[in-house]
Amino acid sequence: MASPQVENGYFKISTELWKALYKIRINGESRQMLDVIIHKTYGYHKKTDKISTSQFMQLTGLGRTAIYKARKKLLGMNLISVTQKGDSNIKCYCIQKDYEKWLVSPKKVMSPKKVHGVTQKGDKSVTQKGTHTIIENNTIQKDILGKPKGVTQKGDSKKSNPEIKIFIDYAATTYKTKFNNPLFIDGGKDGQLIKKLLSTFSLTNLQRLWVNFLETEDDFIKNAGFSIAIFKTQINKLVSGNNGNKTETPDYSNMP
């Protein structure tokens, strides 16, 4: 029978950071990988650590392909930073401590259809359409929701691609870092443009092309502006590498 003891070791992690992790949704394999990174860094009083793919496989029991997918997911959520130093083939991993920069989905709340059997004074049941009903400390709270585009409700068959929001959040964050101004987002129109691009490019590739777009020396793009609409019109030029860049693409994976 397993019987962990304090004498076998423990590690410290910021309570504020740990509480931030409570509130986000991470799929099982990605969470396993994140836990290993936390252990290998904070567990040894380090900010970053070299961790090989084989070590991830040994500690988690996951296969190589699952590790690659989990790493891609964590990078897309901006939960971790991955670098490679010198001639070493082993990558260095660290946690993105600024949780306000995480590109994540919140924890699920209760179904917006019906909540039966919840009673308070004079109440026999609670039924709300178009709302989330949250029960906390024996108090019923109603979070009234509108019906955004792409969210499935009765009669809807369309489901939104979560990578659209991940990319738009990433674009806004990198734009803010580059120009120290907010990126104007044209709601549904820009969302549709990104949806079309994601049907051709992976999220990681599209993020890389966006960074190249921000660093371009192309006069047309500079004059037209660094908007998502212009980004789409120039995508083939960016893919071919003919975007006028004279410097290496900067690494925005660990933005301040």
Considering the domain architecture, whether residues 203 and 132 belong to the same structural domain is answered as no
Residue 190 is assigned to a structural domain of this protein:
yes
Domain that holds residue 94: 10-101
Per-residue pLDDT tens listing for the chain (256 residues) = 666 665 566 778 888 888 888 888 888 899 999 999 999 998 888 989 999 999 999 999 999 999 999 999 999 999 999 998 777 889 999 999 888 889 876 655 555 554 455 445 554 444 444 444 443 444 434 443 444 444 444 444 456 789 998 999 999 999 999 889 998 888 788 989 999 999 999 999 999 998 999 988 888 888 888 899 999 999 998 888 765 554 444 555 555 4
Phi-psi region of 9 (alpha: psi -120 to 50; beta: other; left: phi over 0): left
Backbone angles phi and psi of 120, in degrees to 5: -130, -170
Count of structural domains within the chain: 3
Q: Which two tokens stand for residue 170?
A: 């990433």
**Beta carbons within 10 angstroms of residue 136's beta carbon:** 7
Residue 251 is assigned to a structural domain of this protein:
no
Considering the domain architecture, whether residues 91 and 136 belong to the same structural domain is answered as no
Say if CB 238 and CB 210 are below 8 A apart. no
Write down the pLDDT at residue 58: 94
Report the alpha-carbon distance of residue 72 to residue 76 in Å, rounded: 6
Report the alpha-carbon distance of residue 181 to residue 128 in Å, rounded: 40
Write down the pLDDT at residue 24: 86
Considering the domain architecture, whether residues 14 and 86 belong to the same structural domain is answered as yes
Write down the pLDDT at residue 152: 44
Tell me which residue of 149, 164, 177 sits closest to 103, measured CA to CA: 164
Q: Do you know the residue count of the chain?
A: 256
Considering the domain architecture, whether residues 95 and 118 belong to the same structural domain is answered as no
Strand partners, 144: 131
Residue 2 is assigned to a structural domain of this protein:
no
Considering the domain architecture, whether residues 89 and 57 belong to the same structural domain is answered as yes
Tell me which residue of 53, 50, 47, 167 sits closest to 96, measured CA to CA: 47
Report the alpha-carbon distance of residue 77 to residue 157 in Å, rounded: 27
